[in-house]
């Protein structure tokens, strides 16, 4: 199968040829025809399999072949994403695919000034890629209107429908016409989130390329049991041994990532860190340096776990296991993309055994354990241990409902206390471990 056989327009085919894309991935081959027909789609596929093109190509073709209403151009397509970095990446991809089309793509996210975004909206927009919090700011101030939306996409839909985002998503959906095409894509859909997703869709085509919550076969993943107090020393040893590789290291908290990056630097391993408390300029600068090879080690919270395509990333290390098992799939999905070989290593303390157990249950597979000589833990992993949560959910540091922090609103301050807790429907509250902003 080729992109030509999927019914794409010559302009899109030219753009794909320019970028070197020749053969559609399974998620693209199954989703693009349904998207071109105007069908709603619930799409699930492993990370790194081309989900952006799966929804982006039919979205661009539909907008290009339809004449927009007269008057100032209002957004006709809305793509909602959970992080600023993913907003940049999705918008760049849509611009790349639509380079031979006369369509305008604009990004809306926090961490940057409002006025440039207001100016872009006034000039006219065809496709809006947005984080929910900042989009609501523009909607509430009257600078953005969604009454002309024909296509709605939720990228990383499982995260978008999580408790932290759900109140904001519902407020956005109230501004979007009910007659629309809706496409939801993610690598993971736990049953509760899948049921919620189906409420937003009308007779959808369900596309599931691989079994739920599976890991790419090109990734080798293993666990090193180690005491919490020795994790940093073991991490230094691993990074020193892999001195020629770029490595993405995941921590659980913003403060912990900052401290870990500083400690690695003191050990002669210069690192950059990104998390939700950094400005967008700081985050983008660090990510750009990492992608370009100017920085070899990136220490990040789960802000870097979703959707980001980092070329030639051979190794991902979980310094801390995620509090939610599904996030393991997204984290290690940064490596082993597009058929490349990858490696995922997790440093697991005895008290994190319960988190590892949850991950293995989700994957329906064991993860190989290898004890590193000199770093033997003082006791076996306690697989029946309950996850230890700080204030505000995963790893502490934020009240429930705090997804509309600087990552989406851009004011650099947490949302007012209790701001989001009243908005979610009662039946969904408490339906799973609460998440916190990355």
The dihedrals phi and psi of 408, each to the nearest 5 degrees, come to: -120, -35
Residue with tokens 């073991």: 234
What is 105-126 written as a DSSP string? EEEE-SSS-HHHHHHHHHH--S
Any domain includes 398: no
Which pLDDT score is estimated for 162? 81
For helices 51-65 and 84-97, what crossing angle results, to 10°? Answer: 50
Beta bridge partners of 41: 183, 205
The dihedrals phi and psi of 205, each to the nearest 5 degrees, come to: -85, 125
Does the pLDDT at position 406 exceed 50?
A: no
Q: What token pair was written down for 82? A: 């959970």
> How close are the terminal C-alpha atoms of the chain, in Å?
39
Which pLDDT score is estimated for 409? 37
Q: What token pair was written down for 43? A: 């799409």
Does the pLDDT at position 404 exceed 60?
A: no
pLDDT tens sequence across 268-322? 998 999 888 887 788 888 888 888 888 899 999 987 777 677 778 899 999 999 9
Name which residue leads in pLDDT, 337 or 37.
37
Which pLDDT score is estimated for 1? 81
Which pLDDT score is estimated for 160? 87
Any domain includes 119: yes
Whether residues 85 and 197 share a domain: the answer is yes
Which pLDDT score is estimated for 249? 96
How many separate domains does the chain show? 2
Any domain includes 78: yes
Mean of pLDDT values over 415-437:
37
Which pLDDT score is estimated for 153? 97
CATH number for the domain spanning 281: value is 3.40.50.300
pLDDT tens sequence across 128-156? 999 999 999 999 999 999 999 999 999 98
Q: Please identify, among 145, 173, 208, the residue that sits at the C-terminal boundary of a domain.
A: 208
Mean of pLDDT values over 70-94:
90
What is the Cα–Cα distance from 290 to 392, expressed in whole angstroms?
Answer: 30
Q: Please identify, among 369, 395, 425, the residue that sits at the C-terminal boundary of a domain.
A: 369
Which pLDDT score is estimated for 257? 93
Whether residues 45 and 66 share a domain: the answer is yes
**Cβ neighbours, 10 Å, residue 351:** 16
Whether residues 175 and 28 share a domain: the answer is yes
Q: Please identify, among 369, 400, 422, the residue that sits at the C-terminal boundary of a domain.
A: 369
| Burial call 376-394: b when 16+ CB within 10 Å, e when fewer | ebeeebeeebebeeeebbb
Whether residues 192 and 112 share a domain: the answer is yes
Beta bridge partners of 298: 248, 272
Predicted confidence band at 73 (pLDDT cuts at 50, 70, 90)?
confident
The dihedrals phi and psi of 92, each to the nearest 5 degrees, come to: -60, -40
Count of alpha carbons within 13 angstroms of residue 86, beta-carbon side: 28
The answer to whether the CB of 86 falls within 8 A of the CB of 274 is no
Residue with tokens 């990510």: 287
**Strands 181-186 vs 315-318: parallel, antiparallel or unpaired:** unpaired
Does the pLDDT at position 384 exceed 80?
A: no
pLDDT tens sequence across 20-54? 888 999 999 999 999 999 999 999 887 777 899 99
> What is the chain's mean pLDDT, rounded?
83
Residue with tokens 């199954």: 30
Q: What token pair was written down for 385? A: 């241990």
Which pLDDT score is estimated for 427? 39
Whether residues 47 and 183 share a domain: the answer is yes
Express as a percent the part of the chain with pLDDT over 70.
84
Mean of pLDDT values over 396-402:
33
DSSP designation for 146: -
Whether residues 189 and 245 share a domain: the answer is no
What is the Cα–Cα distance from 104 to 125, expressed in whole angstroms?
Answer: 5
Beta bridge partners of 77: 127, 151
pLDDT tens sequence across 178-202? 999 999 998 778 888 889 899 999 9
Does the pLDDT at position 176 exceed 90?
A: yes
> Which range is most confident: 49-58, 205-214, 387-396?
49-58
Please give the C-alpha separations between residue 83 and each of 121, 159, 411, in angstroms, as whole numbers.
20, 10, 15
Which pLDDT score is estimated for 148? 94
Whether residues 151 and 23 share a domain: the answer is yes
> Which range is most confident: 44-48, 343-347, 400-404?
343-347
Any domain includes 270: yes
Segments forming the whole domain that contains residue 313: 219-369
Name residues whose C-beta falls within 8 Å of residue 136's C-beta, 6 or more positions apart in sequence.
168, 171, 172, 404
What is the Cα–Cα distance from 100 to 10, expressed in whole angstroms?
Answer: 9
Any domain includes 406: no
Predicted confidence band at 97 (pLDDT cuts at 50, 70, 90)?
very high
Predicted confidence band at 391 (pLDDT cuts at 50, 70, 90)?
very low
pLDDT tens sequence across 212-258? 555 667 788 899 999 999 999 999 999 999 988 999 999 999 899 99
Mean of pLDDT values over 92-101:
95
Any domain includes 9: yes
> Which range is most confident: 167-181, 351-365, 416-430?
167-181
The answer to whether the CB of 280 falls within 8 A of the CB of 112 is yes
Whether residues 148 and 277 share a domain: the answer is no
Whether residues 149 and 258 share a domain: the answer is no
What is the Cα–Cα distance from 258 to 254, expressed in whole angstroms?
Answer: 6
Name residues whose C-beta falls within 8 Å of residue 365's C-beta, 6 or more positions apart in sequence.
none
Which pLDDT score is estimated for 214? 56
Any domain includes 233: yes
What is the Cα–Cα distance from 238 to 251, expressed in whole angstroms?
Answer: 16
**Residue in 161, 112, 103, 105 with CA at minimum distance from that of residue 132:** 161
Whether residues 223 and 138 share a domain: the answer is no
Mean of pLDDT values over 382-388:
70
Does the pLDDT at position 408 exceed 50?
A: no
Any domain includes 382: no
What is the Cα–Cα distance from 353 to 363, expressed in whole angstroms?
Answer: 15
Predicted confidence band at 77 (pLDDT cuts at 50, 70, 90)?
very high
Whether residues 201 and 241 share a domain: the answer is no
Grouping H, G, I as helix, E, B as strand and the rest as coil, residue 61 is helix
Does the pLDDT at position 413 exceed 80?
A: no
Whether residues 59 and 174 share a domain: the answer is yes
């Amino acid at each position: 199968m080729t992109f030509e056989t999927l019914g794409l327009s010559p302009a899109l085919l030219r753009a794909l040829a320019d970028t070197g894309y020749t053969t559609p991935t399974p998620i693209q081959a199954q989703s693009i025809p349904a998207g071109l027909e105007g069908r709603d789609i619930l799409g699930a596929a492993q990370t790194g399999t081309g989900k952006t093109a799966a929804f982006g190509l039919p979205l661009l073709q539909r907008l290009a072949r339809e004449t927009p209403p007269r008057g100032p151009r209002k957004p006709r397509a809305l793509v909602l994403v959970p992080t600023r970095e993913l907003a940049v990446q999705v918008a760049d991809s849509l611009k790349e695919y639509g380079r031979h089309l006369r369509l305008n793509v604009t990004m809306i996210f926090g961490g940057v000034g409002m006025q440039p975004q207001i100016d872009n909206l006034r000039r006219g927009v065809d496709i809006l890629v947005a984080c929910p919090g900042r989009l609501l700011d523009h909607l509430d101030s009257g600078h953005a209107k969604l009454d002309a939306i024909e296509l709605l996409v939720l990228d990383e839909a499982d995260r978008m429908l999580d408790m932290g985002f759900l109140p904001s998503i519902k407020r956005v959906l109230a501004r979007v016409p009910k007659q629309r095409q809706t496409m939801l894509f993610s690598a993971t859909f736990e049953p509760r989130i899948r049921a919620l997703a189906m409420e937003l869709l009308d007779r959808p085509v369900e596309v599931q390329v691989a079994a739920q919550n599976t890991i790419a076969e090109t990734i080798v993943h293993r666990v090193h049991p180690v005491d919490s107090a020795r994790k940093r020393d073991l991490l230094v040893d691993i990074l020193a041994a892999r001195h020629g590789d770029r490595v993405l290291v995941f921590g659980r908290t913003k403060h912990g990532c900052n401290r870990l990056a500083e400690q690695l630097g003191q050990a002669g391993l210069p690192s950059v860190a990104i998390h939700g408390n950094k400005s967008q300029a700081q985050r983008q600068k660090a990510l750009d340096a990492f992608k370009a090879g100017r920085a070899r080690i990136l220490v990040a919270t789960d802000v870097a776990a979703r959707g980001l395509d980092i070329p030639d990333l051979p190794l991902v290390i979980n310094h801390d296991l995620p509090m939610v098992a599904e996030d393991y799939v997204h984290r290690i999905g940064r490596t082993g993309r597009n058929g490349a070989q990858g490696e995922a290593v997790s440093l697991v303390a005895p008290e994190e055994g319960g988190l590892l157990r949850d991950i293995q249950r989700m994957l329906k597979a064991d993860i190989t354990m290898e004890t590193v000589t000199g770093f033997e833990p003082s006791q076996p992993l306690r697989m029946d241990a309950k996850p230890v949560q700080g204030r505000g959910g995963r790893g502490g540091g934020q009240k429930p409902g705090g997804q509309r922090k600087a990552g989406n609103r851009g004011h650099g301050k947490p949302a007012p206390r209790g701001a989001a807790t009243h908005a979610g429907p009662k039946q969904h509250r408490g339906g799973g471990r609460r998440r916190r902003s990355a």
